[in-house]
Chain A
Amino acid sequence: MQQLSLDEWPMGLEEDALQVALEPDEITRRTNLRFERGRDSLDEFDGAVVALDEGQSFAFQRHVHSPTRGTTVLLRQGSRDELRALINLVSLTKKDITWMAPHIETELASVLRDGQRGGRRIALALVTLGAAGAVRKLISGRAKRTRADRKNKLQA
């Protein structure tokens, strides 16, 4: 994953897909992406373009005189990998998303659901590891006590 300059804006990356309730500085804080000032047919904007390894990409765009808060995310249609990469990169949750284009609703719900499942799997794994550690401690504590009891008995 790498950041492109606005001059390298990929062809076809022009679909407003999401509006997130994050201003560019918050996105920079979360991702280290650097927003550049550009201009399109409407107005000046602050933008950042991200390219993934397989030629996929997405972009953030915040028009400077936009009447609404937040930042628009541009994605190509049917871009599930980009959507997943975007959500992971920005640590997006459902509450960060203030609008989504109709064509992306199903994919977004699915990707968010996968993310939650992954989170639960990790949490469960940690709990399991924690329980195993506790069992090991219990066993080793019991063994130590048994050895100490035997020693005590011998010494007695």
Chain B
Amino acid sequence: MGSATPQPQAYVGELPPGAIGIEFYTDVQPHGGTVDGHARWWPTDPGVVLVDDEYAKIAIIVTKNTHPKA
């Protein structure tokens, strides 16, 4: 829902206190920039790799991971 194309997405900024998720850096430029506080990468963008037409991935450096299984 929202999009049929696999797209990595992220909010811009630090993970809020108590939130579950990962905080990361990436050199891969988001599609259209991040001005609206939201980063979205298209499979056709440089640095985005489409996997089996089901997932899209980008290279990141994780700086925080608050997932319970982490």
Which residues of A line the B interface, CB within 8 A? 6-7, 9, 11-16, 19, 38-43, 45, 47, 61, 63, 65-68, 70, 72, 98-99, 101-102
Contact = CB atoms under 8 A, between A and B. Distances in A.
Nearest to A98: B36
B11 A67 contact: yes
A40 B9 contact: yes
B47 interface: no
Nearest to B7: A41
A99 B12 CA distance: 15
Interface residues of B, number: 22
Interface of B: 1-13, 16, 19, 31-32, 35-38, 40
Nearest to B16: A65
Contacts of B19: 65
